[in-house]
């Protein structure tokens, strides 16, 4: 549904901190499903961990946050703005993510208010849950640096 270049039109993340390859499904104000192909070429595998490459949990959360940002910013009331991560609740890591895995990022809108959103998230490898969390976002106008 959205390619990497279309994703970059919505969120400010760029290499090496863009952790989404495509958006597979999108229902604005409801849910998003996106894909992150995990490859051995990722820079973080050089140090996490040599001889035992594991995707850091914080980067799994970042991948979910990027998918959530797209979901939030596709809402008519938040178009053209930036979504900032405000809180992470109940994050649980259930399975390691390794090179060669395909991370499916599933995000559902829980609540929207004037300038914020709460989403429930899960990252899957196949049918197995790698991570679950609830994320809170604050949405603000985009400012130039």
Q: Which residues of 76-111 are buried (b: 16+ CB within 10 A; e: fewer)?
A: eebeeebbebeeeeebebeeebeeebebbbbbebee
Question: What was the pLDDT predicted at 142?
Answer: 83
Question: What was the pLDDT predicted at 144?
Answer: 61
β-bridge partners, 2: 23
Each residue's pLDDT expressed in tens, for the chain with a length of 145 residues: 899 999 999 998 998 999 999 999 999 999 999 999 999 999 999 999 999 999 999 999 999 999 999 999 999 889 889 999 999 999 999 999 999 999 999 999 999 989 999 999 999 999 999 999 999 999 999 876 5
Q: Would you state the structure tokens that stand for residue 130, as one six-digit string?
A: 């790698």
Give the CATH number, domain containing residue 93.
3.10.129.10
Domain tally for the chain? 1
- The CA-based dihedral angle spanning residues 131, 97, 62, 69, taken in that order and rounded to the nearest 10 degrees: -70
Q: What positions carry a catalytic annotation?
A: 48
Q: Output DSSP code: residue 50.
A: T
Domain that holds residue 119: 4-141
List the alpha helices (DSSP H) in 12-122. Answer: 57-73
């Amino acid at each position: 549904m959205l390619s990497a270049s279309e994703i970059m039109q919505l969120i400010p993340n760029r290499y090496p901190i863009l952790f989404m390859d495509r958006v597979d499904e999108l229902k604005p104000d409801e849910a998003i499903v996106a894909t992150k192909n995990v490859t051995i070429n990722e820079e973080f595998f050089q140090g996490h961990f040599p001889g035992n490459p594991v995707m850091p949990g914080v980067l799994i959360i970042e991948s979910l946050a990027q998918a959530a940002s797209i979901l939030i910013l596709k809402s008519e009331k938040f178009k053209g703005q930036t979504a900032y991560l405000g809180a992470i609740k109940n994050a649980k890591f259930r399975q390691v993510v390794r090179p060669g895995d395909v991370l499916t990022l599933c995000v559902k809108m829980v609540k929207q208010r004037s300038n914020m959103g709460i989403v429930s998230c899960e990252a899957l490898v196949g049918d197995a849950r790698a991570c679950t969390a609830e994320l809170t976002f604050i949405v603000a106008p985009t400012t130039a640096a």
